[in-house]
Amino acid sequence: MEDTVLVEFQKVKNTKVYETVISQLKEKICSGELGPGKLLPPERTLADMMGVSRASIREALKILEYMGLIKCKPGEGTFISTLNSDILVDKLNYVSTTETDTLLLDLIELREIIEPKIIELAIKRGTAEELDDIERSLNFTGILDDETFYMLDAGFHLAIARASHNTFTISLMEIMLDMIHETEKRTISLSRKRERIVQEHKDILKCIKDRDKERALIAIQKHLNNIRMFIEKNIQNIMHNI
């Protein structure tokens, strides 16, 4: 049995408690303090260490799993997923030095290239359990803050990538979605279009569950095209905010 990793956490002092829990865990994972394959302390222990309820810990862990940062294994515990720290550093450097409007449009273009293929693979290879994971990522749509909406939006696309059973697509999606989020935080928020985005996610999911490749490709292309049009319409605002 893997030894539980011992790290220090700060007491949480925030009205949105689960967000602060997510922030602390994500920071320690990305810094390497919580290394790949390490076992997190049990929920009760984490709750005591951070001074929060177990419900807040549970909510945070669900979202972190949707993001692909941790893996919960029934009967074994919660483990840190494998991350490539060099890629993450390069990604953040790229975000900070690239013109924001160009970066966003380039990222959408890259998504338009690879996500249809990821969906094809998910339709072909995804198990019933993995399709249920995709659906569960849509269960939190009532949460209104932008940060959590982003996490769940990313979780939806990452769950599809995991269903493709291709390790590189998962890593690539993690990098792309994080880059988009880091850029949006300084400029615009796609969560203003959350109702439409959620509906488009539901349309994509239905096509995947029906194993209907043709309709699924149309649905993802429509989704990404709508995001592209929203960004293009807001380019002037983006440049003004840089």
pLDDT at 148 over 90: no
Both 203 and 139 in one domain: the answer is yes
Say what the pLDDT of residue 99 is. 53
Say what the pLDDT of residue 47 is. 93
Token pair recorded at residue 98: 């690239």
Say what the pLDDT of residue 165 is. 92
> Which residues, at least 6 apart from 76, have a Cβ–Cβ distance to it below 8 Å?
39
Task: Indicate the residue among 63, 80, 97 that finishes a domain.
Answer: 80
Domain assignment present for residue 209? The answer is yes
pLDDT at 163 over 80: yes
Both 69 and 125 in one domain: the answer is no
**The amino acid at 211:** R
Both 61 and 89 in one domain: the answer is no
> What does the DSSP assignment read for 10-41?
PPP--SSHHHHHHHHHHHHHHHTSS-TTPBPP
Model confidence, pTM:
0.62
Res. 40 pLDDT band, cuts 50 70 90: very high
Both 110 and 224 in one domain: the answer is yes
Res. 143 pLDDT band, cuts 50 70 90: low
Both 205 and 122 in one domain: the answer is yes
Domain assignment present for residue 119? The answer is yes
Both 92 and 180 in one domain: the answer is yes
Say what the pLDDT of residue 225 is. 93
Both 116 and 152 in one domain: the answer is yes
Token pair recorded at residue 235: 């380019």
Both 170 and 56 in one domain: the answer is no
Domain ranges, residue 227: 85-241
Both 159 and 99 in one domain: the answer is yes
Q: Give the range among 96-100, 186-190, 199-203, 232-236 with minimum mean pLDDT.
A: 96-100
> What does the DSSP assignment read for 167-225?
HHHHHHHHHHHHHHHHHHHTS--GGGGHHHHHHHHHHHHHHHHTT-HHHHHHHHHHHHH
- What CATH number is associated with residue 64? 1.10.10.10
Q: Give the range among 46-50, 68-72, 181-185, 187-191 with minimum mean pLDDT.
A: 187-191
Both 160 and 72 in one domain: the answer is no
Reported as a single tens digit per residue, the pLDDT across 80-139 is 887 554 545 455 455 545 555 567 778 888 889 999 999 999 999 999 999 998 998 887
Res. 242 pLDDT band, cuts 50 70 90: very low
Domain assignment present for residue 62? The answer is yes
pLDDT at 224 over 60: yes
Both 89 and 46 in one domain: the answer is no
Give the residue, 232 or 218, on which the prediction is more confident. Answer: 218
Number of domains observed in the structure of the chain: 2
Mean pLDDT of the chain: 79
Both 75 and 159 in one domain: the answer is no
- What CATH number is associated with residue 219? 1.20.120.530
Say what the pLDDT of residue 195 is. 82
